[in-house]
């Protein structure tokens, strides 16, 4: 049984590292693209009056609204918390179900890990729900 747990833990660790690496690469590409756009915009501006005129234009408002969309940021964080919460709760339940197949010491370890998984999952679900309620109250989720 220890071999199965070791293989499962190793697989989970490798998957987390792969996910973190891919997430970092995608985020780096997004930041690079935004930086390139801003650099090109800065190269086109020659005086303070041109900057003021550009910033007041509808195209500048559309560009900055796309760059910093508070609604999308709030929804992404909320969904990420809810996804993590669901995965951890399901994992905790699965650990509790398979706990009956273990010996005394292994069953105790499974109980600890299952409880931690359920607690973290419930915390993520609560955080996602609280984010939603507060975002509604603060007006962050209103349609523009």
Q: How many other C-beta atoms are found inside a 10 Å radius of the C-beta of residue 85? A: 20
Q: What is the mean pLDDT of residues 52-71?
A: 71
Confidence label for 4 from pLDDT (cuts 50, 70 and 90): low
Rounded Cα–Cα distance for residues 5 and 115 (Å): 17
Nearest of 138, 141, 144 to residue 73 by alpha carbon: 141
**Confidence band, pLDDT 50/70/90 cuts, at residue 57:** confident
Q: What pLDDT sits at residue 121? A: 92
Q: Are 95 and 113 in contact (CB under 8 A)?
A: yes
pLDDT at 124: 93
Alpha-helical runs (H) found in the chain: 2-44, 48-56, 58-67, 70-98, 104-138
Q: Is the pLDDT of residue 141 over 60?
A: yes
User: pLDDT band at residue 65, thresholds of 50, 70 and 90?
Assistant: low
- Asked if 128 and 82 count as a contact pair (C-beta separation under 8 A), the reply is yes
Residue 131 vs residues 36, 81, 139: alpha-carbon distances, Å: 32, 9, 12
121 touches 71 (CB < 8 A): no
Contact between 115 and 92 (Cβ < 8 Å): yes
According to the model, what pLDDT value does residue 69 have? Answer: 65
List, for residues 69-125, the tens digit of each pLDDT value: 667 777 888 888 899 999 999 998 998 888 888 888 888 888 888 899 999 999 999
pLDDT mean across residues, the chain: 81
Q: Is the pLDDT of residue 144 over 60?
A: no
CA atoms within 13 A on the CB side of 115: 6
Q: Tell me how far apart the alpha carbons of residues 24 and 19 are, in angstroms, rounded to a whole number.
A: 9
Confidence tier at 67 by pLDDT (50, 70, 90): low
């Amino acid at each position: 049984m220890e071999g199965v747990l070791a293989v499962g833990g190793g697989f989970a660790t490798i998957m987390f590292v792969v996910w973190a690496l891919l997430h970092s690469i995608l985020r780096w590409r997004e930041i690079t693209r935004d930086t390139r756009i801003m650099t090109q915009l800065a190269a086109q501006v020659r005086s303070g009056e041109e900057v003021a005129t550009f910033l007041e234009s509808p195209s500048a408002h559309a560009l900055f609204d796309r760059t910093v969309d508070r609604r999308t940021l709030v929804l992404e964080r909320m969904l990420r918390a809810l996804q993590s919460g669901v995965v951890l709760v399901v994992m905790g339940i699965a650990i509790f179900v398979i706990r009956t197949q273990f010996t005394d010491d292994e069953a105790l370890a499974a109980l600890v890990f299952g409880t931690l998984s359920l607690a973290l999952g419930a915390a993520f679900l609560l955080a996602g729900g609280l984010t939603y309620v507060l975002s509604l109250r603060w007006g962050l989720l209103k349609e523009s």
